[in-house]
Structure 1
Amino acid sequence: MDPQTALFQQHRPRLFGLAYRMLGTPGDAEDVLHDAWLRWNDQNSDALDDPEAWLVTVTTRLALDRLRRAKTERAHHVGPWLPEPLVADEEEPPMQAERGQSLQISFLLLLERLSAEERAAFLLHDVFDYSHAEAATMLGITEEACRQRAHRAKQRLREGRPRFTYAPDIQQRLLEKFMQAMQQPTPDVLKSLFADDITVISDGGGRVTATLRPLHGSERVLRLYSQVALRYRSMEAVHRMQWLNGAPALLTWVDGELATVMWIETDGDRIVAIHSLRDPLKLARLKAVTPSPGHAS
């Protein structure tokens, strides 16, 4: 490997982590990195004082352009939009070490509240630890403008942040209870898992059945999952737990096809939010590396 390629590969985990958090889709993040690589390949790296800053700047600006286009496209998305999860081999060790909670689906969804410019300023400063001056240079704006964007972003995120934050092992325990309840559903058991003001967000992309708007309240959610559980009983439905994006997720296969990936938020005792990804296009990457567990639950 030549030195210029080796230098790009050295920084690749951080560049991918930034692009993915900006865009919420691994495929878009890979496209950004491909374009960044083409520009890097035409650049004389020996003439650069700070190759990392150059790479982060190019990656950020490419991601900004793509995110602006994506926001227009997402405005026409059928039903709620959810980020696409990473698969295990995309989470390289350096990325795993720095991810914290900033890769969790609930956090990526929260970032959708921000403008593209606010999102970039916030990620560079608060997630990737660049100073406001460094981030401003990368974004081509003044330091004060960068500081204001990051401040507005934090205000918006605080307004939408989940009321409760509990360790992933508590999320996993409740997901396991939910999985068991879906296999032998009774209204009382299912309802005991749901907070009164639970919210369900389901992304089918207009390609499969999914709620077309967020669903609120335990009674409505109970009816939904009672129907889903009954439908699963007439099919070859198989459930399995897997960690995705730094949190436990429940994967469900139906007749050998990956049909749903679910994450939850909890108050420690009950489920307060469910994020259910059903769009086959978004599940395709995960399905390719996560074979069906067979016909045993």
Structure 2
Amino acid sequence: MNSHQKLARFVAPGVLVTLLAAGEATALADPPAPPSRPGLPTGAPYTHGTYVAMGDSRAAGGSATLTADYQLNPCRRSGDNYPSMVRDRIKPRTYIDISCIGAKSANLRNHPQMMGLRQTNDPLGSMTGSMTGSLAFPIAAQLPQVPRTAQVITVSTGGNDLDWAEILKKCNIRARKNCSKNPAIKARARQGLSRLTVQATTSLRAIRGRAPQAQIFTVGLGGFIGKHGCRQVQLSTADAVWFNNLFKEANTRLRAATEGVGGKLIDVTDPGHDACSGRAWFFGRNAPQGNMAFHLNTTGRAVVANRIAGSIRR
């Protein structure tokens, strides 16, 4: 299969992806990464050219660093997020971080992201982009900021399309113990998976079209929920199992979308590193001040950075 054929591959539902794409035209040791298809990522060998980080809070997030991009930018790009750790490992001549908390897949293409001035106190607020207020303003779409000559692009997307944070709120054991059996919640999850499939696939195809020689890496979803709930992840055991299956399906779709453009999925759902674990890669509900609940902690961000850096072809 030649490169043009690879780029023409679709991820189901193919018809929806086609229609949407047409509309877009107007230092920590860690276990080895789970195996992916051999030969990925495709793209030109890395020679320390431009590295671009795209995505949502999974990419932007880190601790509350005393940096302008965190303190003065509503996108809250931390100085110790995983893209900055990748940068330190691969040492590109040019580094561009355009990730932004709350970004959806459409914001990675040509749709500006609307942000506000008032931040919610909800521990899930920052991940869902709910910095809302009467003075909303647009954040530039990410794709036009990507140089066509980029050599490495990392992408964190799909979570806000899936809408998992809002589902998680409704599944809190104090509110609803049998969330996994609730027809409305299950329907919302199915709709989220459909959105993720169409939107993430369309965005990844657009990224490939923008930077045809780049090595593309997508960071998967989930990982913070174990086999059961705990104080940090307030879910019943049945709902924890259901949520993990939801993330498993979401990652299957993200992997297909990523590999469809010659990219590689970085999976961080290794057992034993959830927010309830003593070896956690994620914060739980009560994240330290300045950090985001259910997001990668310092160890987890280093794992992601190590896996990306170790997968880059040189």
Q: TM-score range by the shorter chain?
A: under 0.3
TM (norm. structure 2) is 0.25
Greater fraction of residues in helix: 1
Which structure has the bigger radius of gyration?
1
Determine which structure has greater relative contact order: mean sequence separation of CA pairs < 8 Å that are 6+ residues apart, divided by chain length.
2
TM (norm. structure 1) is 0.26
